[in-house]
Every structure is written in C-alpha cells, then in structure tokens.
C-alpha cells in the first residue's frame, strides 16, 4: 500500500445510510474527527458502530452519504483504498492469520515488499521494529500469531496498522478481550499516541470512554443521538443516552439467608482441547440461595469447568458432589435430572438450536416429559401454551413463538435460554457469561431474574469476566487463575483493583495473613 501523500488531518462523514435486509444499520450518520483528537463512538450492540466503521474502511458500500478526507470527497472500494489515505482499523475480532508470523501478516498488506517470486520478509520485520520502537509497542516479528496472548495480538494489530501508514486509527472495542491491567496499559499507550494521530475509539465501557476520549458521539438504532465534550458529561448521563432510558442495574442486596452446601467441587482435574490439564485441582462450594461469582480472565479454565459441570467434558479426577451424588462423568441427561440448570457460554450453538422455533427451544430439555408428550407424540397445545406463558413472563420479544430462535437478537435468545432453564425449577444454575454482548436493557432484566431466583433459594454460579457484573450480583466471589481457585472473598470486600490483581495471578495485597479466610455464605451487604 502506498503511504498517503499528505497526512490525514480530518475525516468527515455526511449522512451515511446503510441497509441490510430487514435492518437499517446506519441512518444518516454524520461525524467528524481531526488529528490530535480522540473521538469515542458509543452505542449498544446493534447500534451500527461496527457497520459504520466497515463503511469507512471500504468493506461495505454505503447506500447513501459521503466521506471526506481533508475536505476532499473519497470513495473507498476496499480497505486498501482507506489505508492509502491513512485510515486504518483494528477490528474487534483480530484480523491476523493465526498460522503465519507477525512479519508475514504485515507483509500481506505491504505491496512494495512483493517482488516476483520473492517476498521481502526481512523488510517487513524491519518496519515492525521501527514502528514498535517509535510508539513503544514491543512485538516480536518472528512469533506466530497463535503463540501470542490476546494482549500481544492487540499490540500486533496496532503496530500492523501503523506500519501500513495509518494515521487515523479506528479501534473497535479494543478492550473487550483484555484483562483490567492490559486495558489500563492500552489506554495509557493510546493517550501517548493520540497527540500525533487521530483516533476513533468504539466502546460501550463508559469509564474507558471517560478516561481516553476528548469528544463523544452516541449512536442508537443507527442514528447519532448525541455529540459532546466528554469532560462535561457523567458516565450515567451517557448510559441513559445510549439506551434511551435511565439504566439502574440491580444489585445483590443480601437477604442473609444462610443456605446449606448445594454443590461441592473437590480437586477437579479436566483436560482442555489440546490435551493439557486446564483444571488442575479446582475446589469450590456453592450454597443454596447465594450467587457465587467466578471472576477471571477468559481462558483460565472457565469454559472447561462449565463443560465438566454440564457433563460435556470428561473429568480426569476429582468429584462434583450435588445433592449427595457425584456428578463427575455423568451424562448431561443425568445431570439435568439431578436439578442442574445451565446457561452456556455459546448461546447460539450450545444454548439453542438456531433453526428451531422459540417454543421448541423452550422444551428442549423436557420434550420427553409426560407434560409435553404422550405415547411418543408431542402435545402441541401444551407446548404452545407453555411458550406463551414464558414469552410473557420473560419478556421475550419475538414476532411469534414459531419464529426461528436464531433470528432473534442476542438478548432475546438469552431470555429464551433463561426461561427454559429457570422454568424447569432447578436447584442450582450455572450461568456462563450470561450478558456477554447483550444490550443494557436485556442485561438489566437478566440480572433481575438471577437475583430473584437467588431469593427463592437457588444456588447460582455466575461465571463472568465483567467485574461490574460479578461485583453487583455476587454474595461471594471466587477468582479463577490457571485452573485453580486463587481466592474466595465476600463481595463486600472486593474492589476492581483487588480483583484485577488477583485475576492476573498476583498475590492478594489485602490478604489478612491466612490464605483461605473462610467467609460465611450470604454475607449481609449494607
């Protein structure tokens, strides 16, 4: 890609509109960003942020509207065109080829290194070293992408984008996969880089927006609803603008019910997909009527733990005692019958059958019960009325209960799963990342549901990487690190900083001498 002749000093969008079948993704959006400035673009999932950025990069064509660089109208047909004018993007899902090295990934985009029957890979490595020194973003050009951590891949993306000549950076939810420490580190680096670049920072984490950006634009349903200086507005104000109503995420107020032990996991060892021991002697106890939050950076064994609890992954050794029975290595059916509810991480493929209707997904676990089937035939009326009741009770927004579940939004799919799991009356519920990628309205509802079930005496294991969520909902918080529970602490004693340090695997700074301080369940919060 040829570097731009004149460095980009201003990008302006006017009246950008883009339709997808059945969706108006962008509705007459106008925006502006200049060099030396960080513009935060804020909005819920599906508000049109990513679509808008893909239009800027030339990946999508807008149906109408225009893009101007330094006052001159441009038409980008591919990302190459955007890079040629100095605009580069770091995508939320990294655009790195995992089985190639860092240098090869860069060389892909640098046409001047492509000679006949010869690829100048050394030239690419040299470029990377120059840029990584200049912007203090250490990366190793010879490492394979699949060997790098998510934080390192993030740096590679930044370096790659800069190497390609971008001086306006679009960062699409850059912190969504990072630990709190990596996030802070990234924000500091971006602040330093901001003086000579222009940055569009897409996020729905308002504290990051507050820390980094100069100006903020809020998108809702594909249209800009607010433009302003970040410094003049409080996060709560921005959240209300983002969702269209005041958002008050519910908190666990701690009724103080002292439950007995419900689920007791002892020395659990489980292997991961690559055959290595991912859970290495994990022990944990869940009591009735409590929310036990499990905090940790994803990839520390949460998925394998949830799989083992649901009977989807063989247990190497250890026990899962639930109501006096060992559920380790039992079939999912036995575990379901024992009274375990499960809200899986991957709601599209594990939580539902996407092509099935809402009403069919609602009876996936109970279709064989006498209530829904008689002599091997399904009882259609029962299934319909069950679906109608649950649709009402769980506020599932769908055209009808015969709609294919996969066509619903993430929040509504999650409500379908939650409705199925809760209406079965489980003794315990395992919820894995229950609000990941879900808009704040649905999030509020799901949180309320979880807390209501807790008051009814169900034990809830909440696995999440969102610290706010864990801290708001939990009675106790267990921090998982490298397949072990590093510490269990009462939610009242948890702070963002303390959890962040524990999640990074470091020693607990506030630990009062003895390691596993026993904490009574259902601690009363004030």
Q: Contact positions toward another protein, by CB under 8 A?
A: 1, 20, 51, 57, 59-60, 78-80, 83, 89, 91, 93-100, 104-105, 107-109, 111, 113-115, 117-119, 146, 164, 274
Minimum distance, C-beta of residue 56 to another protein, in the bound complex (Å): 12
* Sign of the alpha-carbon torsion through 65, 67, 72, 76: negative
Based on CB atoms, which residue is closest to another protein, 91 or 453?
91
Minimum distance, C-beta of residue 15 to another protein, in the bound complex (Å): 21
Based on CB atoms, which residue is closest to another protein, 109 or 490?
109
Using left for φ > 0, alpha for ψ between -120 and 50, and beta otherwise, residue 271 falls in beta
d(CA 479, CA 470): 11
Minimum distance, C-beta of residue 121 to another protein, in the bound complex (Å): 8
Q: Which of 512, 523, 519, 460 is nearest to 488 (CA)?
A: 519
Based on CB atoms, which residue is closest to another protein, 100 or 269?
100
State the CB neighbour count (10 A cutoff) for residue 433.
23
Minimum distance, C-beta of residue 96 to another protein, in the bound complex (Å): 6
Alpha helices in 405-439 (DSSP H): 410-423
Minimum distance, C-beta of residue 388 to another protein, in the bound complex (Å): 31
Q: Which of 469, 460, 465, 507 is nearest to 487 (CA)?
A: 507
Minimum distance, C-beta of residue 78 to another protein, in the bound complex (Å): 6
Minimum distance, C-beta of residue 89 to another protein, in the bound complex (Å): 7
Q: Which of 136, 193, 204 is nearest to 167 (CA)?
A: 193
Alpha helices in 244-379 (DSSP H): 302-310, 332-337, 358-362
Burial of 519 (0-12, 13-18, 19+ CB in 10 A): middle
What residues are paired with 460 via a beta bridge? Answer: 291, 429
The 8-class DSSP code of residue 246 comes to: -
d(CA 102, CA 125): 8
What residues are paired with 31 via a beta bridge? Answer: 13
* Sign of the alpha-carbon torsion through 51, 55, 61, 67: positive
Cβ pair 165, 112 in contact under 8 A: no
Based on CB atoms, which residue is closest to another protein, 347 or 420?
347
Based on CB atoms, which residue is closest to another protein, 98 or 138?
98
Minimum distance, C-beta of residue 76 to another protein, in the bound complex (Å): 11
Based on CB atoms, which residue is closest to another protein, 115 or 381?
115
Based on CB atoms, which residue is closest to another protein, 111 or 397?
111
Alpha helices in 300-403 (DSSP H): 302-310, 332-337, 358-362, 380-393
Based on CB atoms, which residue is closest to another protein, 87 or 488?
87
């Amino acid at each position: 890609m040829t570097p731009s002749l004149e460095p980009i000093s201003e990008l302006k969008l006017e009246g950008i509109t883009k339709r997808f079948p059945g969706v108006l993704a962008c509705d007459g959006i106008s925006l502006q960003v200049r060099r030396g400035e960080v513009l935060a673009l804020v909005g819920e999932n599906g508000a049109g942020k990513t679509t808008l950025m893909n239009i800027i990069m030339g990946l999508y064509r807008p149906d109408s509207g225009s893009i101007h660089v330094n006052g001159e109208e441009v038409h980008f047909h591919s990302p190459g065109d955007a890079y040629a004018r100095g605009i580069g993007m770091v995508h939320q899902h990294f655009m790195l080829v995992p089985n190639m090295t860092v240098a090869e990934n860069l060389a892909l985009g640098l046409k001047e290194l492509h000679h006949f029957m010869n690829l100048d890979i050394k030239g690419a490595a040299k470029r990377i070293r120059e840029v990584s020194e200049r912007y203090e973003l250490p990366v190793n050009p010879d490492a394979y992408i699949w060997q790098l951590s998510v934080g390192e891949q993030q740096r590679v993306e930044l370096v790659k984008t800069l190497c390609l000549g971008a001086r306006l950076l679009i960062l699409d939810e850059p912190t969504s996969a990072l630990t709190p420490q990596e996030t802070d580190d990234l924000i500091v680096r971006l602040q330093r880089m901001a003086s000579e670049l222009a940055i569009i920072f897409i996020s729905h984490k308002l504290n990051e927006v507050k820390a980094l950006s100069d100006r903020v634009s809020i998108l809702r349903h594909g249209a800009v609803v607010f433009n302003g200086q970040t410094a003049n507005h409080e996060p709560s104000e921005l959240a209300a603008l983002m969702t269209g109503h005041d958002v008050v995420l519910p908190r666990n107020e701690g009724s103080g019910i002292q439950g007995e032990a419900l689920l007791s996991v002892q020395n659990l060892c489980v292997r991961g997909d690559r055959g290595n021991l991912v859970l290495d002697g994990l022990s944990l106890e869940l009591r009735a009527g409590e929310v036990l939050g499990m905090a940790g950076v994803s990839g520390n064994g949460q998925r394998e733990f949830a799989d083992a609890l649901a009977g989807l992954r063989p247990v190497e050794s250890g026990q899962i005692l639930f109501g006096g029975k060992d559920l380790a290595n039992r079939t999912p059916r036995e575990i379901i019958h024992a009274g375990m509810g499960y809200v899986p991480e991957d709601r599209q493929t594990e939580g539902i059958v996407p092509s099935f209707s809402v009403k069919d997904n609602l009876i996936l676990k109970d279709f064989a019960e006498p209530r829904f089937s008689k002599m091997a035939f399904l009882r259609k009326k029962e299934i319909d009325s069950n679906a109608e009741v649950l649709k009402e009770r769980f506020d599932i927004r769908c055209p009808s209960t015969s709609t294919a579940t996969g066509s619903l939004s993430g929040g509504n799919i999650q409500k379908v799963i939650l409705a199925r799991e809760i209406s079965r009356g489980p003794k315990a519920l395992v919820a894995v990342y229950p609000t990941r990628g879900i808009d704040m309205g649905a999030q509020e509802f799901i949180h309320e549901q979880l807390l209501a079930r807790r008051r009814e005496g169900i034990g809830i294991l909440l696995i999440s990487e969102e610290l706010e969520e864990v801290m708001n909902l939990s009675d106790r918080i267990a921090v998982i690190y490298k397949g072990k529970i590093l510490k269990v602490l009462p939610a009242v004693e948890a702070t963002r900083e303390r959890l962040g340090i524990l999640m990074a695997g470091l020693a607990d700074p506030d630990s009062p001498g003895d390691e596993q301080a026993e904490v009574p369940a259902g601690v009363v919060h004030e």
